[in-house]
Every structure is written in C-alpha cells, then in structure tokens.
Amino acid sequence: MPLELDLPPFRCLESRPEVSISFEGRDLRVPEGISVAAALLLHGLPPGRRSAIGGAQRCAYCLIGQCFECTMTIDGVPYRQACMTTVEAGMTVERQVG
Amino acid sequence: MSTDRFDLAIIGGGPAGLAAASMAFACGLNSVLIDENPGLGGRVFHGIETERDVSILGTDRIAATTLARDAREAATVLSGHSVVDIVRDHEHFQIKTLHGNELRSASARRLLIATGARERSMAFPGWTLPGVMTAGGVQTLLKGARLVPAGPVVLAGSGPLLLLVAVQLLRHDVPVAAILDTTPIANIRRAMPRLAGALWSGSVLRRGVGLLASLLWQRVPIYRGVNTIAAQGDGSIRAVTFKAGKRTHRLDCALLATHVGILPDIQLAGLVDCQLRWDASIPGWTPVTDRNGKTSQDGVFIAGDAAGIGGAEAAPHRGRIAATAAAVELGAIAPDEGDRLVTLDRKKLRRLNRERAFLDTLFFPSPDVRVPQDDAVLVCRCEAVSAGCLRALAAADVAEINHVKSISRCGMGACQGRVCGPLAEETLKDATGRSAEAVGTFRVRPPLKPVPIGAYAAFASDDPPAEARFLYTADW
C-alpha cells in the first residue's frame, strides 16, 4: 500500500542486530532494542496517529511518552505509544485514527 | 491477583529516583522502583543501561551508569511499567501499573514521586506537521536508539538544552541550518546580577559557555530575538519562516526542533491530590513541598524536577533527602540520623539553587512563546482546539480551565492536557488578565494512560477494594 507521506529518513549511528516488523503490511528490517517510533523514523515513515478531527497525519512530537501523537495499533491493540514500545520480531504496527 | 507489598514505592528511574532507591536501601527500607521506560536513567540519562560506549556523551553519564547499577541492587525494579492509577488502601498506597497490555499492582506504605520534568510546548502555525519535534525528543532518539535526523535541522526556542542538542547533532555530522533564539533580550540585563553567584555554584553555565563557543566556531547562524515562527510544508515540514528584528526569513529544513524550557511533571502529584502552587519564576505549577520533599498529602514525597525544576545535578541530592525523610517517617532510622545522612546533600543543593535562579531569569520564556499569537493555531493537538476557540470562550467569560475543558474538549484527549495545559492556561490568562490561580490547572483523572478494557477484565483482583479514592479538595 503506498503511503502518501514521507519524512527524510533518520540514520542510525550504530549497527545492531536486526529484527523484522510489519508496518501496514510491509516488512521493515529494524535494529533490535529500539522503539517502534525510532524504527519508523529510520525508514522515513511518520510514527503517529491520524487525527480523528480532520484526518491529518501526525507524528511523534515529544518522544518521552507525554504527547500521545505516536499512538498506533501495535499487535492489534490500539492507542499504544510507539515511542514507549520496544520493537519485537514479528510485531505488527498499523496507523490508527484517534 | 496478589499484590507485592513494599515500604516505599519510588516512581521514576531518573537521577532522583535512582539515588532515592540506594538511600532507601541504606536506611533499611524494602522499596520498589517503578519506571515506564525499558531501561533506567530517566530522560536525562536515557539509554544508559544499553549504551555500548559510555564515553560518547560525557563523564556524568558514566556516573549515572553506577547510579543505575546500584539502584538495581537496592530495590525491586519494575521497568516498562506505566503508573495508571494510585489509590489509598488503609495504610498503603495501591499502585496500578500497565506493563505491555497487562495491569499489575504493587502496594507501599510511602510514595516517592520522581517523574522529573516535561518540555513546555511552543505552539505556532504548522507545529502539528510531521517533522516538528521537541529538542528533548530529538535528543532522546540520539541517546536511546542512537538515531540522528538526516538534516538540515533548525532549532528554535530558548535554554541550555537547545544549544546542547545543536552541538550533539553537529558532532554526528548532522547539518544544523540555524538556531532561532527566542530569549527576550531584556532577560540578559535582568539575569546579570545573578551571574556571579551562578558562576561558582554549578556546571550548567560553564558548559553553556562551552557550547556557545562551539557553535560560533562551527559558524552555525544564530538569529536573536526571534518571533512569529511558522512551520511550512504540505504533509511534512519543508521550511521554517520567522522574524528576527524587522526582517522575515525563510530557511529550508527537514526537521524543526523546538525547546522553550521544562516544567515539573505534575501528573502524579495531581492524581494523588497534592497541593500545587503557581511558581512565577518558571512560570508554571509546582507541587507544594517542605525542604524534604514532603507534600500536603500524607505519606507522599516528591523529589527531583517533579518537585520544581532544579536540574539533573540537583536531582540525586533531592532524591536522597526525600528517601531519608520517608525512612524517618517509617521509623527505620532516627530523625537525627536522617539529618546526618543528608548534610552534604543540603549543602550542595544550596549552591546549585544560586545557579538555577540565574538560569530561570535568563531563559524566562517571553509571552509570545507562551501564548499562541495566531487564532488558527491548535492549542490542544489531541482534540484540535484552537487558540481562537479558547479566546472566544474567554470573551464569553469562560476562563476557569476545567470549565473550558468541559465545553471545548481542550485537554480531554489521550494526552490529558500534558502538552496543551500550560499553553491553554497562558492563553486564558492573556485573554482575560486573570491570575494563574483564577484560571487554575487541569484536574488529573485516572487512568493516566489508555488501558485496554481487556486488561481491566483480566485484572481479577483478590485485593480488598480500595477504601477511598483521593478526595478532590481543591476549590478550582
């Protein structure tokens, strides 16, 4: 599924062992131990909800668990904070409206 | 479900909480350290337990590694646990935490809140665009995941963290297009009388001078007296526009990092109904505590930045003092023994406070960063409530913030006012001329994080029901 949004991708300063996660049906290879928010930023994808009011794509803003802009459906559970959740092999991540 | 019982529950694994855990152990207390991050260190020492090369970010992080290691030996550590509710159950506090998708519970006779600070937000046109982040957030990505943006990055706002993040990005070859300094020029004159005291007392100022020198050396453009910032882009940020003096500028960027100082994280203090006061020097709401961090709520202590901004250097001292006071209350040690244990901590704090007074004055945020100027700017990101909406309510004489929340939904979204609270308060104060006390602050309601309903269902508790929820006695 094409994503209408792209952010200039972040880069990782370390090489770490990788795991696979699924984002909106596509497989992403990401360093283990990092947050879901960091994993998506690394791929130039905005970790965040779509606003229930107006539908605008939001993106992780504070990255310390305060702003709830990065809430996503993770392993089927909505409203999980991508910045506070560590990636795990086989994890599924989807955008939510919220 | 059985509940683990402790003498002391320390919430927050930053420098205050870590030092408190070690001191509590030294006083003979059985304590639990609860933290929502995967590892200890809090925000300032984020990623400290997983860092491969501790030398990268300086000597204080090496000291913090020891602090974290000691805390793990001193207390039962619950990492990845977000506190979602606290109730009083007879002589105990029952603390409900969310771990993954599961609710757990712990109970303790005393509570020590050490949840630190959060960043004050600056709201301007385009601040909800992907690619606009807090400077603290950018630094968290660097410290934890070891991620840096591709650049070019523009940093905007005021305060030591802004300079620090700029230097750290440059060190990793991230292009920094400019620093937009919103510090009011008049602050410099006001802060000068406090400079001498500050120079001899702490390290932030000395480090700050070093950072500034480094930025000048690397020829990063620094614009002074900046206002009217706007993020431009469709879908994500592409450029930032702003005014410096009379000129309007436009700079292309891939990321805009903003920082206008930090505020005590008062979410837990509000949840357990500790009395708050308006601290005009920050400016912001701060829990009322005595010199030991004891609050108006029986059995509740607060240490570190959560009790009022004192900085990372002061936090361990404040943690040790509060843990000792809790141990004295529990009868684990005698009062004079408690005093003896923290003599040096108190001495160090007196020195650090002089530096804090200088920093608070120099980086006091200007009204135009505290109050969104443009009516179309969203104050509440969750519920998409604009500054204009709040001003319309103020014009209709609705200016008490919980009243405003009921009508507009401002602060009613998932963040529960953590981000918009200070912005909404300042907007209402500015529009009506009322005092901070008259406008008030958002009441905190559990759960503090979204909890799946299934987690509640699975939490079939054998515990006796809590005797009573805290009574909300505040008159606002």
H or E, element range at B113: strand B102-113
At B57, the pLDDT band (50, 70, 90 cuts) reads low
At B47, the pLDDT band (50, 70, 90 cuts) reads confident
Residue from B368, B179, B183, B182 nearest B256 by CA: B179
pLDDT at B48: 87
Residue from A58, A94, A51 nearest A76 by CA: A94
- Check CB contact of A17 with chain B, cutoff 8 Å: no
Partners of residue B136 in chain A, C-beta under 8 Å? 62-64
- Token pair, residue B249, equals 């500028």
- Check CB contact of A33 with chain B, cutoff 8 Å: yes
Q: Where are the alpha helices (DSSP H) in B14-98?
A: 15-26, 59-74
Partners of residue A67 in chain B, C-beta under 8 Å? 381, 415, 418-419
Average pLDDT for B403-407: 97
pLDDT at B468: 45
The verdict on a CB contact (< 8 Å) between B254 and A7 is yes
Average pLDDT for B359-365: 93
Nearest CA-CA distance, residue A28 and chain B, Å: 16
> How many residue pairs from chains A and B have C-beta atoms closer than 8 A?
132
At A5, the pLDDT band (50, 70, 90 cuts) reads low
Q: Which residue of A31, A41, A67 is in closest CB contact with B418?
A: A67
pLDDT tens across B202-252, in order? 777 888 888 888 898 999 999 999 999 999 999 899 999 999 989 999 999
The verdict on a CB contact (< 8 Å) between B119 and A62 is yes
| Domain ranges, ordered by start, for chain A | 18-94
Task: Match 């929340």 to its residue by tokens.
Answer: B405
Average pLDDT for B383-401: 97
Residue of A3, A63, A87 for testing the chain B interface, max B β-carbons within 10 Å: A63
Nearest CA-CA distance, residue B98 and chain A, Å: 11
At B55, the pLDDT band (50, 70, 90 cuts) reads low
At B313, the pLDDT band (50, 70, 90 cuts) reads very high
Nearest CA-CA distance, residue A67 and chain B, Å: 5
Partners of residue A73 in chain B, C-beta under 8 Å? none
Residue B2 has pLDDT above 80, yes or no: no
Buried b (16+ CB within 10 A) or exposed e, B18-48: bbbbbbbbbbebbbbbbbbbbbbbbbbbbbb
ipTM: 0.96
Q: Which residue of A56, A65, A83 is in closest CB contact with B128?
A: A56
Partners of residue A13 in chain B, C-beta under 8 Å? 142, 146-148, 172
Amino acid found at B394: A
Average pLDDT for B158-176: 94
Determine contact, residues B281/B195, Cβ cutoff 8 Å: no
pLDDT at A75: 96
pLDDT tens across B97-152, in order? 999 989 999 999 999 999 999 999 999 999 999 999 999 999 999 999 999 998 89
Partners of residue B118 in chain A, C-beta under 8 Å? 62, 64, 66
Residue from B302, B33, B12 nearest A65 by CA: B12
Residue of A12, A36, A49, A68 for testing the chain B interface, max B β-carbons within 10 Å: A68
At B4, the pLDDT band (50, 70, 90 cuts) reads confident
Structural domains of chain B ordered from first start: 4-118+263-333 (3.50.50.60), 121-260 (3.50.50.60), 371-439 (1.10.10)
Nearest CA-CA distance, residue A48 and chain B, Å: 9
- Please state, in angstroms and rounded to a whole number, the distance separating the CA atoms of residues A82 and B350: 40
pLDDT at B68: 95
Q: Provide the percentage of residues in chain A whose pLDDT is more than 70.
A: 95
Span A18-94: which CATH code?
3.10.20.30
The verdict on a CB contact (< 8 Å) between A66 and B415 is yes
Distances (CA, A) of B354 to B194, B196, B199, B284, B397: 8, 9, 9, 19, 41
Ramachandran category for residue B439: left, alpha or beta (phi over 0 → left; psi -120 to 50 → alpha): alpha
The verdict on a CB contact (< 8 Å) between A34 and B145 is yes
- Check CB contact of A20 with chain B, cutoff 8 Å: no
Nearest CA-CA distance, residue B339 and chain A, Å: 35
Q: Spell out the SS3 assignment of B318-340.
A: HHHHHHHHHHHHCCCCCHHHHHH
Partners of residue A11 in chain B, C-beta under 8 Å? 147-148, 150
Q: Which residue of B43, B82, B235 is in closest CB contact with A5?
A: B235
- Please state, in angstroms and rounded to a whole number, the distance separating the CA atoms of residues B8 and B326: 8
Q: Which residue of B50, B137, B150 is in closest CB contact with A61?
A: B137
Q: Which residue of B lies nearest to A77 if distances are taken between CA atoms?
A: B452
The verdict on a CB contact (< 8 Å) between B130 and A58 is yes
pLDDT tens across B248-266, in order? 999 999 999 999 999 999 9
Determine contact, residues A49/A70, Cβ cutoff 8 Å: yes
